[in-house]
Structure 1
């Protein structure tokens, strides 16, 4: 059963529970966490349900309710523990469009009851579409431990200021930034410590500051840009700071290689705009990307520039940084896991090793315009000593040319090479070969971008998981003997 999470109000009409036994009592107890009272349709009530009736929390109705008793209900739970009666109730509710839940009988349900974390004004509902209720309970236990017990008090306090904030600031980024300042700052900390008077005073100050800025400037204040490293694709490799930035963004300009799971972490209302580039085909010129970042920040928005890997490792983040500084735009940079590091971690091979490799060099596999790299800026003969690891980005199509240039510089013919496609992603693929095999057979890898190539003795260390191996042919060895 696929379900969409939604919160239902019980203010006007109480929910209906069908059944008078222990199961019905358990469901009524759950509903009474939010409902003032519930209606219970049964001829006999167990002790707990009777106590609810005596306390005015439940009203007993005749058993076997019909259309008139079900129509207009916000929710019906049929817990009669009689299969025929539960099926009858479910059929009536479905015909009337009333959400219905029958415990442990998903085919009869149009609504699922979640595991609930209750913090007063803050309610967290956890569902598994009836597939794994015990898992939902375990998640609830974890959240109960993690969430501050006064979180609901903080939400209630914020609610008491909503009208005042609405009158002081227009709806949009400025109002949201005020609330972010409140929840991230000393006001929230004071409330969570039980110091409500201090929290109210601090919120008053924040509202006054925000309102004064509006009056003095006469226009929306300038926004900011956050350069965020999205990592190699696995959302779990994002930093917590990166996730917070995505949750605060008004607009996200993202690369094509950013994983879908990463984009799903963005604020629901945020604009998601692809400005991705692939080798030799820039869908949006860099100058235009720079202009977009500047324009949106000057319009008062919080802008996230989400870049695959790390913004400052072959990500052109430096160019965007320069363009923003010229316009005096506020900038924050959040680093990301670069693809070379992700590939090494997945393989469980170190890029540096005290006994094998003392340094690591990151290089691009192509130059401007897509040409193979000349490496004129590198002392390849010095790197050929064997104590260095060379990590090549964007080198799938130029791998053979790179291998030949390294061999010409003195790299040994049997030097191990590992190429990793889609590092950290479900479709990750690894190919192990030698530098001489790659030099002779440019198509031997059979990989697609994004991929990184690791040249060095570390590539010959034992790797975790499956690695496809390409064996060197005799003519390859002879060619570079």
Structure 2
């Protein structure tokens, strides 16, 4: 470690800033965010403060020669866009023992600026020893994505109650366990969700903090269930909240459609329990799944119910929420990208199109009898896109129902399988060809998209291009 990360309280004295241009303005924004009092020597004479939020008069623009200014009380010297003056200021600052940073000049700097993640009371600094600011920024972007937006509010929330709670819990291990329970449990979840008043009420409702801290060996007495939509298959499409839930989980109950790549994002020491229905097998049943979730929560575990796509789009998430609510179990819901939207994005199928497709209907037809139960007469509008989930087996019945209801046999349709995955497939054609299109697909899961919008898709354009090329190559 070449540099020691240190957090400097910039409110203890003024910072001397020397420089000009956009480089110095970038430093001004950082210093203002940290609450610093700034003496700014603009080396080009331009002291325009437009776009800088100096609401408290933190910036003092100083005329004259910075090399002869009084340094009494100054806590640090910064130079950005200062040219040769930066080198001279560095020598002067070092001579009196002041920390100095000359931007992009390690030789004349005694400290460097890290890339910063600012979440209020939570601040993360990332450094590369000044060798690669671009790498530091990339690391910062990853951390920015992973940290909850309100993590600073959670730290502030704990800070408000520490003086009240800590004297009540004499033993340090129990005190630490108490705050771990607050951070990792339902109270922390409420703060991160922006429900601070409810979190305060829950914390005030803890009768005996010592007993609460020692409730069980895991340090939790209240469990929590998070329903997480895993999306259609690509792990990069998981939301940040979904990743966070998978990393926090003690146990994950997952469906058959969840891909191995997504399961790899689960915390390594979390239990993984498959509960999905496998092809040709009945599965354990919804009531049994509900019981597993409730039992896990009552054991004090953080449980995740991981579903392919979105929990509330043919995912039975509503049934599970009802069961959890009736059992008095704390729960949260994290949406996922449903397969219809995944297919639309990957294969460029605009599910709506101005003046051409004004409505979308999502339905499921896993078996032929499911398709026969659909009222196809309400789905014949040519300006309606129909998205059928789990429709490969029932494709002949889907075609028959739409044709009998009056939909044109020339309506464009597409069969899109394993969407967003590397082995995704597509077959496009017309409604009267639907069963043949399904036969061209090498296994599911797949969805059917029916409507004129399919003619705007990438596979449709490619198919037409191939047909034109074949015609041009035919012998005269």
TM over 0.5: yes
2:404 equivalent to 1:397? no
For 2:419, the equivalent position in structure 1 comes to 423
Q: 1:165 to 1:397 in 2, by over 3 A?
A: farther
| Partner residue in 2 for 1:303 | 303
* 3-state SS of paired residue (1:328): coil
How far does the alpha carbon of each residue in 1:441-476 deviate from its partner, in whole angstroms, 9 at most, with x for none? 37533231111110111111x22478774999xxxx
Identify the residue that residue 449 of structure 2 maps to in structure 1. Answer: 454
1:181 — aligned with what? 188
**Is the contact made by 1:396 and 1:447 (CA closer than 8 Å) also made in structure 2?**
no
How far did 1:175 drift? 6.3
Structure 1 residue 362, shift from structure 2 partner: 1.3
The Cα of 1:376 is off from its aligned counterpart by: 5.0
Where in structure 1 are there 5+ consecutive unaligned residues?
A: 1-14, 16-26, 34-54, 56-114, 190-201, 473-481
SS in structure 2 opposite 1:277? coil
Over the residues paired in the alignment, what is the CA RMSD in angstroms?
5.3
For 2:437 and 2:458, how far apart are their aligned partners in 1?
A: 26
* Paired position in structure 1 for 2:347: 347
Equivalent residue in structure 2 for 1:445, among 440, 456, 460: 440
Q: Secondary structure at the match of 2:396?
A: helix
Instruction: Show the counterpart of 2:457.
Output: 463
Q: 2:390, 2:356 → 1: CA distance?
A: 25
Is the CA contact (8 Å cut-off) linking 2:417 and 2:446 kept in structure 1?
A: yes
The equivalent of 1:214 in structure 2 is: 211
Q: Structure 1 residues 377, 358: closer, same or farther in 2, change over 3 A?
A: farther
For 1:406 and 1:352, the matched residues in 2 are separated by 20
SS in 1 for 2:344: helix
Equivalent-residue separation in structure 2 for 1:182 and 1:385 (angstroms)? 45
Question: Which digits, 9 at most, give the CA deviation of each residue in 1:191-236, with x for residues without a partner?
Answer: xxxxxxxxxxx99x95994853836997763322221111112233
Instruction: Provide the residue aligned with 2:407 in structure 1.
Output: 411
Change (3 A) 1:300 1:428: same
**Whole-Å separation in 2 of the counterparts to 1:253 and 1:126:** 39
For the Cα contact (< 8 Å) 2:185–2:223, is it kept in 1? no
Distance of 1:346 and 1:242 partners within structure 2: 21
Residue 414 (structure 1) shift: 0.9
User: Any residues of structure 2 matched to 1:122-271 within 5 Å, and which?
Assistant: 136-140=135-139, 142=141, 166-168=173-175, 174=181, 177=184, 181=188, 184=191, 209=206, 211-212=208-209, 214=211, 221-271=221-271
